[in-house]
Structure 1
């Protein structure tokens, strides 16, 4: 078997099946990443969504003992909606899903492409051993892609490619075939710190180090009450955050519409907020079930939509929020609705909170109701 020829054939085939970049690296231990992850744990910067131990995340042969190489792939996604995409109005405020959640769930799309690549390899090499991963596996997609020459990991901890900026999905395949590794791309951030300065919550502690506990992208996926300091930063984000990507110079004018699967749908990428408050499980699955941002279920997204209505101080949503505060069985949703009503600040909203407090039993919800009523004094003092 000619390894060099096989590698070239894989590269050519990858283009035929919708893979925009492909790179090859060894299955050696990711030593630098291992040290960084250990330090990350010590600082308490993890999100809690990570899979596997530090060893499993940095030592490929723990996952596939026969591994000799890792093939990394990147698939580009759009950064802009069409010019006539719907906009928020005073009557119908809209939220926003981050760009990585536009279109079909990228986990499914990339797995499908990797399976085709895997089948191609097995046709060429009968005794090939392979293992596919996309995001939810133990290995760091970014670390693999960086070492495979796909791009470099910027100060915002996101992989940046020369062609597509950071608007790419990543996946990898481990194999027992000893491919010649590609050269790693040099870091290209230099003295730039635009992402660090622009992060809404200061989650990028320093270049290449992210405190996930403060990252808006992570916080939109949590299911508990959101801390007040983050509510005021959330804006109309329903899922994810793109700020550190949008300010990156490497993403200037980068907008690729190469794959129909990732084209944003108007009312999914920018959903109306009020209907989200009472959406049923069936409606949620039918509307959002095919996108990456639905993986945590509807509760976090509903909580974020409620905060978004408070952000807009949307008086047309008062009756909807009162209904949720009085009737939703989930304390986080009831309490957040009370907070949002207070933020909107109408007399009807404050009166509804007072009435609801007489029947509410949950201490956390009562605390949120008190915070909602406190806005009345804040607004009053500002008008004096």
Structure 2
């Protein structure tokens, strides 16, 4: 009997030859097989969200001098009970021209260098002028002086490799003259949809056709993770079509993600095509809901994921498996935003044999509400969710009032 386009592939499914592993094991395998992208120098203004690839040391003492923390008068603490003669004004950005001796003071602005001899800055509001002299009328007990090198000394490490650059870290880099900064390159991530039933969103579905939403969802998730998505379009359900797109994606990308074509159906060719191209399949089935048919493989410094074609499965597997991988690929530690909350109602799993990830709404008062969920195609449930809760394998019920950990999405 002629199998048509299936050929011998139907008899040699890589997917069928791989045993099912737990989610924890899949997570471990993914992270253990993650390398890092190359380092590159990037202008400081373009570094938001990037990951430092090298330690950064201060090139100078910070601050480089004793600086005034207030607008006021720089003087000696020993002279606070006497009238003081003002000898100069010191703006920020200018060096003092005179030392402060007994009975003298200098008008000084915030951020200006404290003159020699002064050991305190009395804020203007705590002084008054009488008969051409300055008098201190209130003593706060503070010196209001930022001491030289109190933040860092020249040569001190101020940021470590692996630091994700937020605005505050970018300010630190600027303060030590680190421009450009050495960061890990943003991974280029290829996205491939598979399925004869798929059409692009701008097209009107005819009978048996559906719009391709997964690819656009994945591209958005990839961008949100700090990577560069490249969409390769829809591959028809033939080994030849998948092979052609795979070749192009391998050439142009660090990571390739397939959506669909990874299960055990007659037209699910992705795992075998990956294997035929020399990709080492690390696993092809994960004991997880949604997303059991999930594939991960490597070839040199290239990485490959095959995610189920159902929208929720694609979304969840990216968030809990692919995103941590991409974060590590960029040289950072994966630290998702997690908040503990209390279950508003009992939650019962149909089967307790695998980990299950469910959409939830974490309320302002800490209550956690699970959504009505109709399976792995029910992406609309996630439009109302702001988090995911994992129900571990072996747990069949979570009681109302119990604490749960919510991963924010």
Shorter-chain TM range is under 0.3
Higher strand residue share:
2
Give TM-score, length-normalised by structure 2. Answer: 0.22
TM-score w.r.t. length of structure 1: 0.23
Give the structure with higher Rg (CA).
Answer: 2
Kindly indicate which of the two structures has a greater share of residues assigned to helix. 1
